Amino acid sequence: MVSIRIAKRANSIEYAIRDVIDNAGYATENGKKIFQLNIGDPVAFDFPTPNHIQQALIEAIKTDKNFYSPSEGIPELKQAIVDKEKKVNNVNITSEKVVITSGVSEGIQMLISSLIEEGDEILIPGPAYPPYISYSKFYNGKPITYQTIENENWQPNTEDIRKKISEKTKAILLINPNNPTGALTKKRNVKEILDIAGENGLLVISDEIYDQIRYSEDFMSTSQLAKDIPVVGLNGFSKVYLMTGWRLGYVYFYDQNEELKDLKISIEKEARIRICANTPVQMAGIAALNGPQKHILEMVEKLKKRRDYSWKRLNEIDGLSCAKPEGAFYVFPKIRDIGSKWKTDIDFAVELLKNTGVLLVHGSGFDPIYGAEHVRGVFLPPIEILAQAFDKLETFMKKN
């Protein structure tokens, strides 16, 4: 009999957003309709991929654009990204500074694996998108979460960032707009974080995949404000261009003085060993960036109505409170009775699912310190579906 011992790093992997689905079987078996408010996939609801993007993919396949493309990405797509970053975010980069990835998640993996050695630390907003924490641990680094302040609409505590910098710190991460809270980091706070990074010789990582999904104007790309501070930007097509299952993203390097040259070379090497991103999808990405953009405004207008409804309903439910999301499509309410009625936010989420079919993600899955006692939901479904889910949530809270 062969005994296979699994590497410790594999056993440490967690991804709360999808891990919670394991609990859905019980609710389904007991006849519960599942309200899937756990995954940020607009295409799963009433936000279809725009037709011109679909047609570009079909055309690419029909015209035999099915070959291996350059590992760093198709040049026309990289140039389209350069043009988009200039037009949308006022960021000046060249196509040589862009590497195409299979979604932002692959970009995160490539970046962390190139940046982190054993014991190195990355300062990560608490709470944060889970792969940043998971990949840091996977590569034997140490993710250090810094506080974001809930009663200030989840703005980063820059003094906490200063206190948590050590000789092992390699980078400071911003997720703006934020997943899971929907917060926009104010311009003054982005500037202060850049100043802190400059004072300490640190890299800034800025995940901006929700850059065009926002409900206020208080947003500026980190690289636009960076001046001579090096920034690695991560972005993609899943959310704004409604291409979630297509898996297309990019990493770019903003460095006025070529400080990121070695990091870029390392990530390019990683891109080569995985051959290339999907070639026909890259061709569709060119059409997404260069084609009509009308769907973005329509999507944001529709989401804003759902945001307003969800935020109002959640704050009307006794035992819950929720900061107002200013970007993305998430709510991150606090459950006030964790520790008394429910031992943990995980217990709350599991009991809610089993009793009502409402599937939310436990907040501690986004950070066990600053995410605890919360749950994350999406406001992607139509309002009539959200109303049913929130009615069940309200009834559940009244009974407990």
Which pLDDT score, from 0 to 100, does residue 339 have? Answer: 83
Q: Say which residue, 13 or 80, is predicted with more confidence.
A: 80
- Tell me how far the alpha carbon of residue 100 is from its chain's centroid: 17
Which pLDDT score, from 0 to 100, does residue 154 have? Answer: 98
* pLDDT surpassing 60 at residue 37: yes
* pLDDT surpassing 90 at residue 4: no
Residue 30: band (very low, low, confident or very high) from pLDDT cuts 50, 70, 90:
low
> Are 47 and 299 contacting, i.e. CB atoms less than 8 angstroms apart?
yes
* pLDDT surpassing 90 at residue 244: yes
Find the angle CA(316)-CA(318)-CA(319) to the nearest 5 degrees: 125
- Alpha helices by DSSP H, listed for the chain, are 8-11, 16-19, 24-29, 51-62, 75-89, 103-115, 130-138, 158-164, 187-200, 222-226, 261-273, 279-290, 294-316, 345-356, 383-399
* pLDDT surpassing 60 at residue 39: yes
Summarize pLDDT for 77-93 with one digit per residue, the tens.
999 999 999 999 999 99
Q: Would the CA dihedral through 16, 22, 25, 27 be positive or negative?
A: negative
Residue 258: band (very low, low, confident or very high) from pLDDT cuts 50, 70, 90:
very high
> Are 201 and 163 contacting, i.e. CB atoms less than 8 angstroms apart?
no
Q: Say which residue, 16 or 236, is predicted with more confidence.
A: 236
Which pLDDT score, from 0 to 100, does residue 146 have? Answer: 98
> Are 155 and 148 contacting, i.e. CB atoms less than 8 angstroms apart?
yes
- Is it true that domain 8-48+295-399 has CATH number 3.30.110.40? no
- Joined together, the tokens standing for residue 166 give 């050590």
Residue 110: band (very low, low, confident or very high) from pLDDT cuts 50, 70, 90:
very high
* pLDDT surpassing 90 at residue 16: no
pLDDT-above-70 percentage for the chain: 93
Residue 218: band (very low, low, confident or very high) from pLDDT cuts 50, 70, 90:
confident
* pLDDT surpassing 60 at residue 18: no
* pLDDT surpassing 80 at residue 19: no
Residue 340: band (very low, low, confident or very high) from pLDDT cuts 50, 70, 90:
confident
Summarize pLDDT for 303-327 with one digit per residue, the tens.
999 999 999 999 999 999 999 999 9
Which pLDDT score, from 0 to 100, does residue 97 have? Answer: 98
* pLDDT surpassing 80 at residue 7: no
Summarize pLDDT for 360-398 with one digit per residue, the tens.
999 999 999 999 999 999 999 999 999 999 999 999 999
Which pLDDT score, from 0 to 100, does residue 80 have? Answer: 98
Fold of 51-290: Aspartate Aminotransferase; domain 2 (3.40.640)
Which pLDDT score, from 0 to 100, does residue 175 have? Answer: 98
Average pLDDT, the chain: 94
* pLDDT surpassing 80 at residue 40: yes
| Rounded-to-integer distance, Cα 273 and Cα 397, Å | 51
- Joined together, the tokens standing for residue 374 give 């919360």
Domain boundaries defined on the chain: 8-48+295-399, 51-290
- Joined together, the tokens standing for residue 211 give 């850059």
| Average pLDDT, integer, range 345-362 | 95
* pLDDT surpassing 80 at residue 13: no
